[in-house]
Amino acid sequence: MRTSFNIPDEVVEEFDRVWQDEGIENRSRAVREAMLEFIESHSRLEDTTGEVVALVGFDYRHHDVIQELHSTQHEYQDIILNTSHTHQGEWCLESLFCRGPAERVRELTYQLRDFDAVRRVKVMVIRDSVS
């Protein structure tokens, strides 16, 4: 199937550099692999039930969203064990170590993704069925 996307030039340039450095044969294959990885990483969280330990990492523009982020973190303090914050140029990088029901981790992740000033959110489920 042929399809087209609207993607900022700088994202395409970086994507092209990465897949070429990795030795992937062409952009179509690289996009296919990226899409499969996206599906796998999101399916993992979507398919997980019960108690989990997870790391939620995200980057954002501080002044555009800080009040909302603090409010969200307080709303999910039942599952957020620890936070870590650092700076990378104009962006803030934040990691949240979470433990609790997979459903709550999903809700937190989706809420973070809803903020326009949050560029990306990554979730790594470290353990399922925490005892």
Distance, CA of 16 to CA of 10 (rounded, Å):
10
The mean pLDDT of 18-46, rounded to a whole number, is 87
52-65-75-48 Cα dihedral, nearest 10 degrees: -20
Task: Pick 125 or 86 by higher pLDDT.
Answer: 86
Give the right CATH number for 50-128 from 3.40.640.10, 3.30.930.10, 3.40.50.1820, 3.30.70.1150: 3.30.70.1150
What would the pLDDT profile of 68-106 be if each residue is shown by its tens digit? 999 999 999 999 999 999 999 889 999 999 999 999 999
Q: Check pLDDT > 60 for residue 131.
A: no
Which residues are CB-neighbours of 125 under 8 A, at least 6 positions away?
44, 45, 48, 52, 53, 54, 102, 105
Query: Does the reported pTM lie above 0.85?
Result: no
Domain spans in the chain, listed from the N-terminal domain onward = 9-44, 50-128
